[in-house]
Amino acid sequence: MRKSLNYQEVDQAADIPQILNIFFPGKCNLQCRYCFVHKQKEDFNEIDEHAIKSAVDIFLNYPGKKKSLSFNGGEPLLEWELVKNIYTYAEKQARKKEVLLEGVVVTNGTLLKQEHVEFFKKYKISFRISIDGDKKTHDKMRPFKIKNGKSSFEVILRNLQKIKFGSLQLSASLVFGPKTVTQLLDNIKFLQQQNFKYVDFYPEIYTTWRKEELVILKQEAKKIEQYYLQLFSVKGRKTFRLSMVDKLLGSSGSGKQAICGKIQIDAMGNFFACDKVFSLPKAVRGEYLVGNSNVGVDEKKRLQFLNNSRKELLSETGLKCETCKFKQHCACAIGHYLYKKKTASAERDFWRSFCAVSKILLTMNSNIIKRLEYDEFFVVLNRF
């Protein structure tokens, strides 16, 4: 491995990391039924602040003047002092390098306090609350780990009501599946009513959708599309941003398939090329190590992993990504493939389902952009 990076080897410019995801995979107070992170006790106390700071330095040395630092769980607010220390260090180092740094904290919202919000406001950090909509939907999928009879939904709502957010905009991360898809629009409307200004909704990542379920998803996607378009037909109506619209608008249009602009570290400063390695047990995770805070990132190994995984994915799954009109916009399937391969569950039905779900959601968001791209308020809202 090496600390110096040879960017002549990078055959896809977008494969240069512009996002660093920091994972604390151990501690979490919820037991979300579809969480992809493999939580294990040996991860709980293994945290090295110095190593994480060194990894941040390595990340900031990649080319690019705009970068993002994201804290993920487990539950990052359980490591609040560490999150503060790491971000203030990263922000200081970024300023020295004249890099614009954006911070993101992904939290389940149950531990959210005013002091967290004040820190987010001070450093202009985005925070995203994992909330699946109304009480019935949310509590079914996101119960507390300790069965204490409490509703995680009610705790989140109570926090949202008592905290003064000021200029800080609320962002939501909503997960849906075949069992909750018929409530998807209602749950999005609920989040809108709770004053969420940014909604990221995506399917349970390892679920296989049956044909009849895909028909329902297509119908629900059309309802969401029509509802969203109606919001812009009346001046003064409360609107919100959609994450996939953001992604489509921010696409480079390079036409290249499954490009990756992210790199991941664990709480010990170990680098991984894909975030889905955290769905695997720690012993298996080591196979996908591409560097650490002491020696840096082995760029050759990282790019080799990405390129070989793309080829293997297409060969083994039968996906026709190269001829798909959405290939430069589609969610990267490498992580899904990695998990399915290691758990011996890489059935072709899953990949057909993955492809169909992706196309339905991308079509919906593409239609929204086509209809609203000349709408003045939509342009201002999405800043393009």
Q: What is the pLDDT of residues 272-300, one digit of tens each?
A: 999 888 888 888 888 899 999 999 999 99
CB-based contacts of 307: which residues, under 8 Å, 6+ apart?
A: 11
Which option is the CATH number for 13-382: 1.10.3720.10, 3.30.390.50, 3.20.20.70, 3.40.50.410? 3.20.20.70
The answer to whether 86 and 52 are in contact (CB under 8 A) is yes
Which pLDDT score, from 0 to 100, does residue 44 have? 55
pLDDT digits (tens, 9 = 90+) for 69-92: 999 988 999 999 999 999 999 999
**Percentage of the chain exceeding pLDDT 70:** 91
pTM to 2 decimal places: 0.89
Neighbours of 343 (CB within 10 A): 12
One-letter amino acid at 258 equals: A
Nearest Cα neighbor of 205 from 242, 165, 176 is 176
Q: Which residues pair with 98 in a beta bridge?
A: none
What's the confidence (pLDDT) of residue 331?
Answer: 76
Per-position pLDDT tens, the chain of length 384: 334 344 344 444 457 899 999 998 778 999 998 888 876 665 555 789 999 999 999 999 999 999 999 999 889 999 999 999 999 999 999 999 999 999 999 999 999 999 999 999 999 999 999 999 999 999 999 999 887 778 999 999 999 999 999 888 899 999 999 999 999 999 999 999 999 999 999 999 889 999 999 999 999 999 999 999 999 988 777 899 999 898 888 764 444 444 678 999 999 999 999 988 888 888 888 889 999 999 999 999 999 988 888 888 888 888 888 888 887 778 778 888 887 777 665 577 888 899 999 999 999 999 999 999 999 889 988 875
Beta bridge partners, 101, equal: 67
Q: Which helix (H) or strand (E) holds 172?
A: strand 170-176
Determine phi and psi for 266, rounding to 5 degrees.
Answer: -95, -175
Q: What is the 3-state secondary structure (H, E, C) of 250-319?
A: CCCCCCCCCCCCEEEECCCCEEECCHHHHHCCHHHHHHHEEEECCCEECHHHHHHHHHHHHHHHHHHHCC
Spatial contact of 243 and 199, defined as CB atoms under 8 Å apart:
yes
Please report the pLDDT score of residue 325 as a whole number: 85
Residue 137 corresponds to which amino acid? T
Q: Are 240 and 228 in contact (CB under 8 A)?
A: no
